Structure 1
Amino acid sequence: MALYFSTGSSLLFIAIIAFIPFPTEAAIKKYQFDVVVKNVSRLCHAKPIVTINGRFPGPTIYAREGDRVIINVTNYAQYNMSIHWHGLKQFRNGWADGPAYITQCPIKSGSSYSYDFNITGQRGTLWWHAHILWLRATVYGAIVIMPKEGVLYPFPQPHQEAELLLGEWWNEDVEAVENQGNMLGLPPNMSDAHTINGKPGPLFPCSDKHTYALEVEWGKTYLLRIINAALNDELFFTVAGHNMTVVEIDAVYCKPFTTDAILITPGQTTNVLLQANQAPGRYFIAARSFMDAPVPVDNKTATAILQYKGVPTTVLPLLPNLPAPNDTNFASKYLQKLKSLNTPQYPAKVPLTTDRHLFYTIGLGMNPCPNCLNGTKLTASLNNITFVMPKIGLLQAHYFNIKGVFRLDFPDKPMTAFNYTGAPLTANLGTSLGTRLTKLAYNSTVELVLQDTNLLTVESHPFHLHGYNFFVVGQGIGNFDPNIDPAKFNLVDPPERNTVGVPTGGWTAIRFRADNPGVWFMHCHLEVHTTWGLKMAFVVENGDGPDQTILPPPKDLPPC
């Protein structure tokens, strides 16, 4: 298929071509998307924004498991650009992963780059977004990977499907908002609205025409593909008057269960089945922040409308019943229900033993900043190391053995042990700055415990690992106890994900097999924390076989 992406006040052009392994003329679909300058109005404000093909959100990429996808990106924006295909494993092919200065240098204004990758062993809902600065505020869209021809979903087949992208909206230029926060040494201003498919809904001023509506027919079943594309907010999501059956998370089928609301962190996707079995009418679809930490929260509720066919639009929608913004109990019970399908066709290949045990503490802090208005700035770290972005791509430096770009001495555990969740709020251990990575042997099994800390404050952190899925084998509140907690791990059917939330004042344990050589980014998917340095990367060594080594870089790899 061919797609043309653009960028809004700025333009970005993307051509997408998907090929079936043995294509026939009927199997190759082509789409044309024109490059336009886009002015977008929300909440009584109109402003130019960076978009793809003038669309906000951008177009959905449709493919099948086994397809090859080529995405040519031409950047007409005033900003450098890179696109990340979130959740696609990119086997041996980090050149197509997209995070700026990690697997590539960004695409400069007026230049092009072709992302060329195969979709291997994956099907479900993923998404794409800008991976530089805060540009993913408006540069994002869905990826829908259908099963191979003739393969059915392992749940009742829906009559129709819809993508619901949850996002945020700033009335100002989001880059200016970020820069102002950096100058003050404070968090940037919160967004002015949450959105569903780019629209805030009728609960906001001047937004009556900016409401997404999904029409359904009574008695039919619908598959909703829900994506949290918000920059900084975990979200509760519900459909008034209806239950939902969760059937997939992060493009991995899970054991179905029914719920009246879901919790979804930035970066995650969730597929649910919804039966249109209530009294024909109009019902609010709603999303609102979840935050159980003592920090300011954006509790504005975005709404869309579930509209039964034939019901007049003058009928008032039924109001939703969302969990309270700090409902930790609901969040915990919901997460406990998530389990891998673990069938012969879709097994959960959990590493039962591990070669490498890693323990990373998540810390917030305040460092001196002579150039900041307050004389200090907020920072974030893993194992008290604040990551410094390099000037050239880390994968390029690794592949070509360019010295002096990064160090391979990221510690397996924090240099200073302390009472991680019991430290006083004002504690500040200080951080060291560095571009420090961890080397993993090819095909080794890894257990990583991510531990929240009470440095400045406790807070939930959604972590995303590029290039891999992992199994969430355990979670808990308080300090992880290596002598007690591993005995409680789920090694049978734990949820398999690419993004996981570390609970407020708690820990999360994940396991994965390092069988994808390259340089792979891991970072908090709260953009404000990533900006402050809450990130690192793994260098996974090549294996011995020819199909266990990094592919050579493409000829059009962007230069720095």
Structure 2
Amino acid sequence: MTYGFAAFAALLPAIAFAAIGPVADLHIVNKQIAPDGFSRDTTLAGGTFPGPLIKANKGDEFKINVYDDLTDDRMELSTSIHWHGLFQHTTNWADGVSFVTQCPVVPQHSFLYDFHAPGQAGTFWYHSHIATQYCDGLRGPLVIYDPADPYAYMYDVDDESTVITLADWYHYLSSDAPTIPAPNTTLINGLGRTVNGSATPLAVVSVVQGKRYRFRLVGISCDTNFVFSIDQHNLTIIEADGNNVLPLLVDSIQVLAGQRYSVVVQANQPIDNYWIRAQPNDIAQGFDNGRNSAILRYNGAPTTDPTTPLVNSTMPMVETNLHVSVMSINPGNPVPGGADINIRLVSSINNTYFAMNDVIFVPPSVPVLLQIMSGVKRAQDLLPKGSIYGVERNKSVELVIPALGLAGPHPMHLHGHAFSVVRSAGSSTYNFENPVRRDVVSMGNDGDEVTIRFFTDNPGPWFFHCHIDWHLAAGFAVVLAEDVADVPLVDPTPASWKALCPTYNASSPSVHVRPLPKAQGFPQ
């Protein structure tokens, strides 16, 4: 008996992530895959897209040994891995940012990322942090489960089967990307369909009628943001970027690159198949032939595509409606500009380069952390000049970020901290009482101005950048150098870290990352 491809796809089992960790080997490899029916070469964690789910319990120690097995010189051959959303207290060296906190790992070598995440639980992810390597596929989810989760009473199921990744996908290598890269496909849990393509397999999320599910949404895009919804099902948000929030009932959520949400969904509809939708901002929109979609399948439903109709959202998530679940003292005085340190970061663009306060971030040849460990004690003496902002320890910091509407909305991510969003994009009011805490915030559209605050309790150089990876590679970043003088005492580095730069510098130029050339139009 034979089946057509669409019929075969419908018979595939539900998608659930293979899980590893928190102690594991992670091999970075080149592999050809066709998640939307189009075959292309990639760079992957563990040989899959997305990479394997790394899971742990609150308080666990992470020991992830990353092996660079890359051989395809059309893509980056060196690598480093960032553990997005984890603060890396006393382990700034394990933050994984090439040329900020480490030199890259070169082929046929490995590096052990050994760190704790004290007090943290929630939904995170990991990805390459070198050039635009993660656009070629090196990205995956990471979850820290809390055995004492205060919201455990709200759901019945929270496991590998309830992690949902949202990704953009490109039919060309990142090294061949045009000036304005445009993705081809939306992938949900690593599967999707293209415009005018065949009915390739879609991800299936299986549920049992009557049960309640904690779905962990992970925005692992290189660029695209998505409006996520599930036909005929509401979503109750309980977490944003690893921080619990007061439960908020919505029917759609915009998820930007790097953002994460946990939502509780009740399987309270008739047994059937329902479309899971992720409307993209920069991929061909619409849901014809199952594009930009996955399937919510009730146990007992037929193995066919859903037929549920699209209904316009009437309860979209608005960030100002998100509030922390546990009241805490927000840093600084409750007035605009009331922090100890106030920094205004104005973004601009010229040709294909981005700048913050008129400076394009060009990665230094010596990582910022290594400069500090080598004796530099003042932020103003660190390279790259103009991109380093010194902040003292135990101070409140306010960052004001006027929107750059062009090529946006831009998702801005701070390493080493969660921050309070005291003024959200699209809002003219401030919330100093109970704002949402997160680590990726939208800059919004032209005319918007976002204000965030955090407390400097984590010495080290921390990257602050646009999480559209193409924009980061084009200079859209600064480094906040926190308590520079005390970093060598607080963040001692292991011998394996000290060996990274000598090994990288002694390696063939073919494995080196090409530096970003200087651009015209901005002061250097």
Q: How does 1:101-112 map to 2 (within 5 A)?
A: 101-112=99-110
- The one-letter code matched in structure 2 to 1:534 is F
- Comparing both chains, which one has the higher relative contact order based on Cα–Cα distances under 8 Å and sequence gaps of 6 or more? 2
Q: 1:459 to 1:208 in 2, by over 3 A?
A: closer
- Give 1:193's aligned amino acid: T
| CA spacing shift, 1:62–1:35, aligned 2, 3 Å | same
Pairs within 5 Å for 1:19-418: 38-78=31-71, 79-137=77-135, 138-147=137-146, 149-153=147-151, 156-161=154-159, 162-177=162-177, 181=178, 186-188=179-181, 190-201=182-193, 205-209=197-201, 211-290=202-281, 298-299=284-285, 301-314=291-304, 316-321=306-311, 334-342=318-326, 347-353=327-333, 354-366=339-351, 378-401=352-375, 407=380
Q: What CA distance in whole angstroms lies between the structure 2 residues aligned with 1:226 and 1:319? A: 22
Give how far 1:330 is off: 7.5
Aligned length: 464
Query: Which of the residues 402, 409, 420 maps onto 1:460?
Result: 409
| TM-aligned CA distance change 1:187 to 1:77, over 3 Å | same
Q: CA deviation at 1:175?
A: 2.5
Q: 2:345 aligns to what SS in structure 1?
A: strand
- Note the residue ranges of structure 1 that are not aligned, 5 or more in a row: 1-14, 19-29, 291-295, 324-328, 367-377, 411-432, 479-484
Letter in 1 for 2:412: F
CA contact (8 A) 1:289 1:297 kept: yes
Which secondary structure state, in structure 2, belongs to the residue aligned with residue 45 of structure 1? coil
Q: Compute the displacement of 1:434 (Å).
A: 4.6
Deviation at 1:317, TM superposition (A): 3.3
- Determine the C-alpha separation between the residues in 2 that align with 1:305 and 1:202: 16
Cα distance change on mapping 1:516 and 1:298 into 2, 3 Å: farther
CA distance in 2, matches of 1:320, 1:548: 56
Structure 2 CA distance for partners of 1:552 and 1:314, relative to 1, 3 Å: closer
1:520 to 444, 457, 462: 462
User: What letter corresponds to residue 432 of structure 2 in structure 1?
Assistant: L
TM-score w.r.t. length of structure 1: 0.77
8 Å contact 1:16–1:69 — kept in the other structure?
no
**Local SS of the residue matching 2:369:** helix
* Paired AA for residue 288 in structure 1: Q
Match of 2:516 in 1: none
Distance in 1 (alpha carbons) for counterparts of 2:306 and 2:250:
24
3-state secondary structure, aligned to 2:495 = coil
Match of 1:427 in 2: none
Shift of 1:90: 0.2
Q: CA deviation at 1:399?
A: 1.9
C-alpha separation in 2, matches of 1:226 and 1:349: 28
Cα offset, 1:475, TM superposition: 2.7
AA partner of residue 384 (structure 1): D
**Residue 450, structure 1, aligned to residue 390, structure 2:** no
Distance of aligned partners of 1:335 and 1:477 in 2 relative to their CA distance in 1, 3 Å threshold: closer
The amino acid that maps onto 2:397 is V
RMSD (Å), alpha carbons: 2.8
Distance 1:153 1:380, change over 3 A: same
The 1-side partners of 2:100 and 2:485 are apart by: 21
* 1:17–1:399 Cα change, 3 Å: same
Secondary structure at the aligned position of 1:396 is classed as helix
Distance 1:212 1:16, change over 3 A: closer
Report if the CA contact (8 A) 1:386-1:434 is conserved.
no
Tell me the CA shift for residue 36 of structure 1.
Answer: 6.8
Task: Assess, with a 3 A threshold, how the Cα gap between structure 1 residues 34 and 129 changes in structure 2: closer, same or farther.
Answer: closer
Distance 2:283 2:212 in 1: 35
- Which segment is superposed worse, 443-452 or 44-53? 44-53
For 2:444 and 2:489, locate their aligned partners in 1 and report how far apart those are by CA, in whole Å: 36
SS in 1 for 2:93: helix
Unaligned runs of 5+ in 2: 1-18, 72-76, 334-338, 505-524
Distance 1:510 1:434 in 2: 24
> Which secondary structure does the structure 2 equivalent of 1:386 belong to?
coil
Instruction: Give 2:514's aligned residue.
Output: none
Call closer, same or farther: CA 1:453–1:228 in 2, change over 3 Å.
closer
Distance 2:221 2:407 in 1: 21
CA distance in 1, matches of 2:376, 2:27: 40
Per the TM alignment, residue 76 of structure 1 is displaced from its structure 2 partner at its CA by: 1.1
Partner of 2:479: 537
Take 1:61 and 1:124, find their aligned partners in 2: how far apart are those partners?
Answer: 12
Is the 2:45–2:138 contact (alpha carbons within 8 Å) kept by the matching residues of 1? yes
TM normalised by structure 2 equals 0.82
| Residue 12 (structure 2) aligns with | none
